[in-house]
C-alpha cells in the first residue's frame, strides 16, 4: 500500500468502507469513492473533504484517480461483478483489494484486537475501543457502527500500536486478518448464501482462531460450540454474563435507568461497575470488552470510567423519541438471535407494556434460511408490522417474500406494509413502545417516524 498516494473506494458509503476512507484521508492521502445512493454518511464524508460520486459509469470518476500507478482501488463484496467501474479497473492494470485485505495489512503492522461473532461484535468492539482509547493504553479503531461518544466509526491514536477491528465473517473476510487478540461473541449460523451449511460456517470461525499471533489471546463466550485451533503460545479465556468462566459478571443489580455489576477476572474482582447504556444485553458485551482491556493493562479505575461513560452506538438500541405516553427505539437487529436478545432487553426495561415492532427483513437468502426462526422470535412482540425484504446485494429468489415470515408469526395483531405506506399506517396506530428493527433502508424512516410522533404530540 505504501506506493499509492490515492485511494478510490467502490462502496464508500458502507460502514466499514467509510472508516477506511477516513483513515487514509487522515493519513494525508487523496481519497474518493462511489456509492449507489446518498446517505447521511456519504454527506459527512463529503464535508470531510472526501470525493463521493453516485454515477456508476467510469466517466464519472474524477481524473486524478484514473492512474493505476498511483491509485489503489478498494472494493466491498457488495459491489456486483459487472459494475462498470469495477470492470474498468480490473481490465486496466489497477491493483484492487477487498476491504478485508486492507484491514489485514493494518493488523500485520500493529497489535490487532479483532472482535468476531454473528451478533454482538459491533457493540463489543465499540465498548472495547472506548475503554482502551480513554485509558493510558490507547488505540485506533475501525468500527462497524457510529460511536455516540465520538460521532464516528474511526478512532486514531498517534502513540498506541493497538487497533480494534470488527472482524466480519461475511465472505470469509475475517480470514484476511492477523489478530494479536480476538473475541468470539457468538457463532450462530448465518450467511448460508456463502457458507451453504452451518458446519462450514462453524469451520470458518475455527480457522479464524488459527490466525491469532503467537503470544496473543482468544476470549470466547462460554458455551459456543467451537473447537479453537490455536498457535503455540496463544492463551484461551472464556467469558459469560453470569454463567462463570475466566471473566464474568456477578451481583447484577437492575434499578430504574441503571445497571450495576461486579466484574470478575482470573485474579480479582472489580466491584460495582456501572453500565453507561443500561441494557441487559450490554452486560455480556461489556464483560468481553473489559476482558480485552484488562488483558492489555487497563487499570480498574480506567475500566470503571470507560464503562460508565460509554454512550452507545447509532442504531444499536437507540432511544429516538421519548414522552410521557410512549417510547420509540431503533435497533440494527437483523438475525433471529439478535432480535431475540433485543426484544428480551426491551421487555426487561419496559415490563407489562405493549411493544409494537416494525421489522424489515434483510436479504432474500437470510429470509429463506431463517423464516421460521424469525417468526418464532417476532411472535414475542405484541404487534408486528412487517416491511418488504431489503435485497442489498441480492436478486429476488422465487417464492421468497416477507409473507413467509408473516404466515408463521403467532400474533393476533400483525400485518404486511409496503414501505411507502408505513407513515400513513402509523398515524392511526395506538402506540406504547415502538421499535424499528433491521439492517437495510429502514433507518431512513427513523427521522420521519420521530417527526410524526412529535407533531402528533404522542
Residues 148 and 119 occupy one common structural domain: yes
Last residue of a domain, one of 77, 100, 123: 100
The pLDDT value given to residue 345: 84
Residues 130 and 62 occupy one common structural domain: no
Would residue 351 count as lying in a domain? yes
Whether the model clears a pTM of 0.95, i.e. scores above it, the answer is: no
What percent of the chain clears pLDDT 70, i.e. is strictly above it? 99
Residues 337 and 449 occupy one common structural domain: yes
Would residue 158 count as lying in a domain? yes
Q: How far apart are CA 124 and CA 289, in angstroms?
A: 6
Residues 282 and 323 occupy one common structural domain: no
CATH code of the domain containing 195: 3.40.1190.10
pLDDT tens-place string over residues 327-354: 999 998 888 988 998 998 888 888 889 9
Residues 340 and 434 occupy one common structural domain: yes
Would residue 105 count as lying in a domain? no
Would residue 182 count as lying in a domain? yes
The pLDDT value given to residue 119: 85
CATH code of the domain containing 379: 3.90.190.20
Q: What is the mean pLDDT of the chain?
A: 93
Would residue 432 count as lying in a domain? yes
The pLDDT value given to residue 212: 97
Place of cell 408505513: 422
What is the span of the domain harbouring residue 421? 318-455
Total domains in the chain come to 3
Indicate if the pLDDT at residue 153 is higher than 60.
yes
Would residue 197 count as lying in a domain? yes
CA-nearest of 252, 189, 183 to 221 is: 183
Residues 141 and 284 occupy one common structural domain: yes
Residues 277 and 128 occupy one common structural domain: yes
Q: Reduce the DSSP state of residue 424 to 3 states and report it.
A: helix
pLDDT tens-place string over residues 4-45: 999 999 999 988 899 999 999 999 999 999 998 888 889 999
> Which alpha helices (H) appear in 91-197, and where do they start and end?
99-108, 121-133, 192-195
The pLDDT value given to residue 364: 94
CB 38 within 8 A of CB 171: no
Average pLDDT, integer, range 234-263:
93
The pLDDT value given to residue 194: 77
The pLDDT value given to residue 1: 56
DSSP per residue, 357-394 = EEE--B-HHHHHHHHHHHHHHHTTSSEEEEPPPB-TTP
Residues 193 and 65 occupy one common structural domain: no
pLDDT tens-place string over residues 440-449: 889 889 999 9
Indicate if the pLDDT at residue 154 is higher than 90.
yes
Residues in a beta bridge with 140: 163
pLDDT tens-place string over residues 196-205: 898 999 999 9
Residues 295 and 326 occupy one common structural domain: no
Q: How far apart are CA 191 and CA 22, in angstroms?
A: 28
CB atoms within 10 A of CB 172: 18
Indicate if the pLDDT at residue 268 is higher than 70.
yes
Last residue of a domain, one of 100, 129, 154: 100
pLDDT category, 184, cuts 50, 70, 90?
A: very high
Indicate if the pLDDT at residue 2 is higher than 70.
no
Residues 276 and 418 occupy one common structural domain: no
Residues in a beta bridge with 274: 260
Average pLDDT, integer, range 152-156:
94
Q: How far apart are CA 358 and CA 86, in angstroms?
A: 36
Indicate if the pLDDT at residue 240 is higher than 70.
yes
Rounded to 10°, the helix 121-133/281-295 angle is 40
The pLDDT value given to residue 128: 98
Would residue 436 count as lying in a domain? yes
Report how far Cα 378 is from the mean position of its chain's Cα atoms. 21
Average pLDDT, integer, range 51-71:
96
Measured over the CA atoms of residue 379, residue 383, residue 386 and residue 387, the dihedral's sign is: negative
pLDDT category, 411, cuts 50, 70, 90?
A: very high
Average pLDDT, integer, range 254-279:
91
Residues 446 and 384 occupy one common structural domain: yes
CB 401 within 8 A of CB 365: no
Rounded to 10°, the helix 15-26/99-108 angle is 50
Would residue 1 count as lying in a domain? no
Which grid coordinates are listed for 441? 433502508
Q: In what order do the strands lie in the sheet with 383-386?
A: 318-322, 327-331, 433-437, 355-359, 383-386, 414-416
CATH code of the domain containing 33: 3.40.50.720
Last residue of a domain, one of 100, 132, 164: 100
Bridge-based pairing state of the strands 248-255 and 258-264: antiparallel
Residues 190 and 253 occupy one common structural domain: yes
pLDDT tens-place string over residues 132-142: 999 999 999 99
Amino acid at each position: 500500500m505504501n506506493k499509492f498516494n490515492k485511494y478510490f473506494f467502490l462502496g464508500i458509503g458502507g460502514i466499514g468502507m467509510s472508516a477506511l476512507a477516513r483513515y487514509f484521508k487522515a493519513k494525508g492521502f487523496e481519497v474518493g469513492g462511489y456509492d449507489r445512493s446518498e446517505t447521511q454518511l456519504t454527506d459527512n464524508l463529503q464535508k470531510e473533504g472526501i470525493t463521493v460520486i453516485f454515477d456508476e459509469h467510469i466517466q464519472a470518476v474524477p481524473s486524478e484517480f484514473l492512474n493505476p500507478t498511483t491509485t489503489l482501488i478498494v472494493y466491498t463484496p457488495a459491489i456486483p461483478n459487472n459494475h462498470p467501474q469495477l470492470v474498468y479497473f480490473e481490465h486496466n492494470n489497477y491493483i484492487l483489494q477487498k476491504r478485508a485485505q486492507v484491514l489485514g495489512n493494518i493488523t500485520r503492522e500493529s497489535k490487532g484486537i479483532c472482535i468476531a461473532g454473528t451478533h454482538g461484535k459491533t457493540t463489543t468492539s465499540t465498548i472495547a475501543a472506548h475503554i482502551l482509547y480513554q485509558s493510558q493504553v490507547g488505540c485506533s479503531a475501525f468500527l462497524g457502527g457510529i460511536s455516540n461518544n465520538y460521532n464516528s466509526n474511526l478512532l486514531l491514536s498517534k502513540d498506541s500500536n493497538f487497533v480494534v477491528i470488527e472482524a466480519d465473517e461475511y465472505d470469509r473476510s475475517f480470514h484476511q486478518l492477523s489478530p494479536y487478540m480476538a473475541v468470539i461473541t457468538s457463532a450462530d449460523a448465518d450467511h448460508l448464501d456463502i457458507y451453504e451449511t452451518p458446519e462450514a460456517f462453524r469451520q470458518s470461525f475455527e480457522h479464524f482462531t488459527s490466525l491469532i499471533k503467537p503470544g496473543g489471546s482468544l476470549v470466547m463466550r462460554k458455551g459456543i460450540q467451537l473447537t479453537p485451533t490455536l498457535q503455540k503460545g496463544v492463551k484461551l479465556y472464556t467469558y459469560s454474563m453470569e454463567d462463570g468462566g475466566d471473566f464474568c459478571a456477578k451481583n447484577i443489580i437492575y434499578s430504574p435507568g441503571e445497571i450495576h455489576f461486579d466484574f470478575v477476572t482470573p485474579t480479582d474482582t472489580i466491584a460495582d461497575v456501572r453500565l453507561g447504556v443500561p441494557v441487559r444485553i450490554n452486560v455480556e458485551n461489556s464483560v468481553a470488552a473489559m476482558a480485552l482491556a484488562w488483558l492489555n493493562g487497563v487499570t480498574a479505575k480506567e475500566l470503571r470510567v470507560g464503562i460508565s461513560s460509554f454512550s452507545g452506538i447509532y442504531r444499536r438500541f437507540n432511544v429516538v423519541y421519548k414522552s410521557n405516553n410512549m417510547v420509540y427505539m431503533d435497533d440494527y437487529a437483523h438475525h433471529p438471535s439478535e432480535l431475540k436478545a433485543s426484544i428480551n432487553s426491551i421487555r426487561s426495561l419496559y415490563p407489562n407494556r405493549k411493544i409494537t415492532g416494525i421489522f424489515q427483513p434483510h436479504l432474500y437468502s437470510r429470509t429463506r434460511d431463517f423464516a421460521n426462526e424469525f417468526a418464532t422470535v417476532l411472535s414475542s412482540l405484541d404487534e408486528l408490522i412487517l416491511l418488504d425484504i431489503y435485497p442489498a446485494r441480492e436478486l429476488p429468489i422465487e417464492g421468497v417474500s416477507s409473507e413467509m415470515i408473516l404466515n408463521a408469526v403467532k400474533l393476533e395483531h400483525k400485518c404486511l406494509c409496503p414501505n411507502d405506506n408505513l407513515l400513513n399506517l402509523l398515524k392511526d396506530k395506538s402506540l406504547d413502545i415502538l421499535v424499528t428493527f433491521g439492517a437495510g433502508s429502514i433507518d431512513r424512516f427513523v427521522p420521519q417516524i420521530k417527526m410524526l410522533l412529535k407533531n402528533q404530540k404522542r
